[in-house]
Each structure stands twice: as structure tokens, then as C-alpha cells.
Amino acid sequence: MIFVPQPKIFLSLKANDTTIIHRAGITGLWMSLKVLEQKYPDPLQRPGHLTWDLTATSISLNWQGEDLPVLNWLLQQSFQIDEDGLIKFTGLESCSLTLINRIHNHKAINDTFLKLHWFYKKRKVTSQSFKINNIRVFFKYKQLNSYAHQTLAEKLCNKSGNLIDGYIPIVSWLYPGATVRHAILSKFNKIEEKVEYALALLFLPLVCQYYILQENAVKTYDDRLTKYLIVIPEVYNLETAAVRCWNFQSINYVDLYVASLAEAALKYYHYTQGLTLLINNVECCQVLLYEKLNKKSRQRAIFDVQDFTITPQSVKDYQFICQHFAKNIIFFKKEGKRKSFIVKVNSIRSIIASNLADNLPWWTDFWENIYETNSLGDIEEQLVFNRKGLLAMIEEDAALEIYQDFIHAFHEALRKIYAKTYDKKKSKKDNQSRIEKKYESIRSELARCYDQQSLEDFLSDFLARAGLNSALYNQWSELLPLIFNEVNWQRTRNLALISLASYKPKRFSLRKIPIKFWTTLISINYQAAIFFLYEKPITEIFLEKEEILQ
């Protein structure tokens, strides 16, 4: 019988006493050991002849002799500081991290996990410059001499230099939220962990993804008040989770800004799998929001924690909106000789992402989210900015087929109202302004629909103003139950807002239309000419030319 020694440390995803945070930490350790395996392939190169066995669900660590030197070596090798004074994780060395992303991760970790000054030693505050959209901007950050992760081995071992047999107290830099609220009760309200779990928790920051929560209405950006979102993934397979973390590091810095916790969760799985690959199974994650109570606060605290269950379909839908909706935009402003920037997030995209993350239809509570829940600050701009994306979502969503008649009738009414608004005596610029004012007038009316009666009044008046509406006339039996719906009038209001926001008049130059055709059309019917000029694609005009002239 062959005797197999028990490992000094054994960590498993299947252990009943682990949480999502423990399992993410185990993944970070797995990633670090995988890289160290390439750096030091021979156990003789490691203190105590340290060896490890890595499987898809567990880690086994074994060594000879005293424990402290082995653990010291492991932590010193795993947690380092690079030549720029930035936190460097060996487990992420295989990633092609850009300097701007390294600074972002460094600042996020420093302001969340290492938020108290006794968890790190600062060297100085410095800055690096980068070109974004051909404009040079500067990032300030604290250079570090050391940080707490590098020296925990001493607290894991007793005076004899061997692992403590039992539990040790931990705080927030190991386990988010694990803080002592009242010093007088510190002996009674500390969180304790097994020594092997405390070791695993050290590696949690490797697996987390860090986003910046940016409200769209923000006018100025104060780096000291940055709100950080930390995504902690649920891990079922260590190798799969490690590959996901390595893949994520190539994300564009501007895409690290989001407007909701839900979008951060979706973006994590969207980017880690690439633009063409989808997750095959349901995934879970936890998102933590770190922010300061006010400008005078010295440190950030956890203000919100949300759990999300992400389905393959929700990731697929989010990929679709990322392809069709407007991207995040950078605005630059000059501060002395330097330029700073503000990243403006597409809040409509984030609203839709929140519905997808909750496994709801993307247009659920669209009206409420825009006019009540979210204070966007620039509603008009956001809705106009995303017309193309909203129309693409309507055309793509098979579930909206039963409402297509309503949307078509609404668009038909808008076409006729805009055509009536157009004045041939006005310049192109004046007519454009008139159309925009009419759009805003209709949007304001819809914004005041707070109950069924006000919505019915609006829709009845709106459709009547449009005049003859072939879509309404042909499908009136299907449309009336939607318009006069006591059970779910909010859904109709959502559809009305989406219909309004997704419609975009198409304008074409007169020079693209044959002069003979244009003059003939005007002589027959001026309103029809305006309608086709302002609304119809040029190909449709040519196709219908003979029918119109008849």
C-alpha cells in the first residue's frame, strides 16, 4: 500500500463552507500557481520543495519543513510592484495589459481593498500621460512601496513558523465588508476565517473586474469621488474562470465606464467571451458598489451589493445592443496646461442592460426608467442619440411582433405630423428646427401620461392629429385593445415611447431626384411631394414613381 501524504493546504470549490468570494479567491491562487509553474518548473527551485496539484475544482499545496518561508516566498512571488510603482499580480502576467488599464486597476484596488493607509506604504503621487482620441491627458495615482498582501504570511503562522491551526480575524482588504464597526466591541464583532481560506482571499483582487459608475448627467469629474463597481464572478471551473479573467484584460479603457450595476455584470460576460462567442450556461456574479459618503470622507465604503443571474440569451442581446447603440463618448476640458476628460455613458443602453440582466424584456418599464427612476439630465439628447439602436432592437426582437402593428401605426402618424409641420417657404434649417420642436412637444405630452386616462387622451389626440392613417385603419381591431387597456396600460406607454424614440425622418437632397419627376410630383400634390421627399428612402421613391404619377 502506497502512502500518500495529506496536503498542507487543500482548497476546493465544492466545500460547503465557501462563499462566492472564497471561490473567486481560490481562482486567483490557481492563476498565480499556473504562472509560477512556468517560471519555476522544478520544485527544487522553490523553498521547501513546494509542489502543487491543480485540477478544475481544487488546489493542493504541499512542502517540506517550516511553513513561514514557503508562504513568504509564495506571497512575495505572487504580489509585486512594477517599475512604475503600480500593483502587479503575477497571475495576470500573461495578459497584455496596457499601462492605462494597469493604472485603472491599481487605483481601483487601492481605493477599495486597500482603502486604509496602514494597508500600504505610499512612495509619492505621480502621473502618466496618454493619448486618447489624439488628445493627451494625465492620470494621477499613488506609487506604492508595499501593500498588505505581500506580508500576510507572518499572520498565518504562529511563533514557531508553522500554520496556525484554527481561525484568524480578517478585515475588509481580505473580505469586502468585513470591518469592525465599533472599536469598543472589537473583540466580539470581528469576522474570522480558516487560515487556508484567509490565504485564498488574498488572491480575490486578481479575479475581480473593476468598473467606474458614471451617472450620465455628470457635468464635472472629480477623481476623488469616483464610484467603483467590483464584479465578483461565481466560479464552477477554475480553468474556465482563469481563462475568462485573462481574456478580459484587453478591454478598452473607455468601456470600463457604466451607468448601472446590471450593465457591469453583463459587460463582464460580454467581453470575457469575445464578440462572437457566447456563454453556454447560466452564470452568476455579485457586484459591489464602493463610493464615498461625501466629499469630506477619506475612504470609500460598500453602498450596495447585488447578485445577478446571467443567461446566454441576455449576453447575446447585450452584444446586439453594443453593436447597434452609441458607444461611450469622451469629452475633454482644459485645466491649465493639461487636459482632463469626462466619459459620458450611454444611459439608454444601461437601462436596457438592467432589464436584460434581470431576465426581463429589454423594453420593460422603459417609460418609468427614463422619467422616474433615472435622472439622466439630457433625456432629449439620449433618446435622439439612440434612435438607430432602438429601431434595430424593435426589428430584431421576435417578441415584439405582436406589437409591430402599434409601432407601425405610431410611426405612420409621426410621418404625417412631420409632413404637415414642414413649410416650403422656410429654409432647410428652419424646417429641421420645426420638426425637432414638434418631436419635443410630442415627447413632453407623453411624459405627462401618468395614468390610463391621460395615456388614452394622448394617443387619441395624437392619432387624430395625424389624419388618415392606413396602418391604423387596416389594423384597428388589433390596435384598440392596446390603446384602451386597463390591465396593462403601462406597457402601451412603454411601446409609445419606444416608437417615438426609434423613429427618425430620412432627408434626401433634391438633386438626387430627377427634375422631371420632382416637378411632375409637385404639380400633382404638394403634400405628397413633401411626404416622399422627407420620409421615403430614395430607392422607394423610384420604385413608386409610376404609381404616384398615375
Angle at 314 between CA 309 and CA 320, to 5 degrees: 150
| Mean pLDDT on 157-174 | 87
Q: What is the pLDDT, as a whole number, of residue 20? A: 95
> Amino acid identity of 182?
H
| Mean pLDDT on 363-367 | 85
Phi first, then psi: what are they for 297, rounded to 5°?
-65, 140
CB 420 within 8 A of CB 356: no
CB 111 within 8 A of CB 210: no
| Mean pLDDT on 221-240 | 89
Reference 193, options 178, 183, 177; nearest CA is 178
Question: Which one of 159, 179, 205 terminates a domain?
Answer: 205
Query: For residues 366 and 407, what is the distance between their CA atoms, to the nearest angstrom?
Result: 15
Residues 166, 45, single domain; the answer is: yes
On whether residue 414 sits in a domain, the answer given is yes
CB 249 within 8 A of CB 256: no
Whether residue 545 has pLDDT greater than 80 = no
β-pairing, 227-233 vs 167-170, is: unpaired
Query: For residues 29 and 200, what is the distance between their CA atoms, to the nearest angstrom?
Result: 6
Q: What is the pLDDT, as a whole number, of residue 376? A: 53
Of residues 47 and 347, more confidently modeled: 47
Phi first, then psi: what are they for 15, rounded to 5°?
-65, 135
Residues 432, 449, single domain; the answer is: yes
On whether residue 54 sits in a domain, the answer given is yes
Query: For residues 218 and 342, what is the distance between their CA atoms, to the nearest angstrom?
Result: 8
Band of the pLDDT at 32, cuts 50, 70, 90?
A: very high
Residues 81, 53, single domain; the answer is: yes
| Mean pLDDT on 366-381 | 70
Question: Which one of 155, 174, 205 terminates a domain?
Answer: 205
Residues contacting residue 1 through CB under 8 Å, at least 6 positions apart:
none
Whether residue 85 has pLDDT greater than 90 = yes
On whether residue 213 sits in a domain, the answer given is yes
Whether residue 341 has pLDDT greater than 70 = yes
Per-residue DSSP letter, 182: -
Q: What is the pLDDT, as a whole number, of residue 513? A: 43
| Mean pLDDT on 180-203 | 78
β-pairing, 79-81 vs 283-291, is: unpaired
Residues 339, 286, single domain; the answer is: yes
Angle at 40 between CA 206 and CA 42, to 5 degrees: 140
Q: What is the pLDDT, as a whole number, of residue 14? A: 92
Residues 178, 32, single domain; the answer is: yes
Per-residue burial over 348-376, b if 16 or more Cβ lie within 10 Å, else e, is bbbbbbbbbbeeebbbbbbbebbbeebeb
Q: What is the pTM of this model?
A: 0.81
Q: What is the pLDDT, as a whole number, of residue 53? A: 95
Residues 177, 247, single domain; the answer is: no
| Mean pLDDT on 364-391 | 76
Picking from 68-77, 79-88, 163-172, 175-184, which range would have the lowest pLDDT averaged per residue?
A: 175-184
Residues 140, 289, single domain; the answer is: no
Q: Give pLDDT tens digits for 42-59.
A: 999 999 999 999 999 999
Q: Give pLDDT tens digits for 478-511.
A: 666 666 766 678 888 888 888 888 887 655 333 3
Other CB atoms within 10 Å distance of the CB of residue 103: 21
On whether residue 382 sits in a domain, the answer given is no
Residues 161, 248, single domain; the answer is: no
What does the DSSP assignment read for 262-303?
HHHHHHHHHHHTTTT---SS-EEEEEEEEE-SSTT-SS-EEE
β-pairing, 338-344 vs 191-194, is: unpaired
Query: For residues 471 and 408, what is the distance between their CA atoms, to the nearest angstrom?
Result: 7
Residues 406, 267, single domain; the answer is: no
In which domain, by residue range, is 181 found?
9-205
Residues 198, 226, single domain; the answer is: no
Domain count within the chain: 3
On whether residue 503 sits in a domain, the answer given is yes
Nearest 10 degrees: CA dihedral of 141, 147, 150, 156? -150
On whether residue 411 sits in a domain, the answer given is yes
Band of the pLDDT at 246, cuts 50, 70, 90?
A: confident
On whether residue 376 sits in a domain, the answer given is no
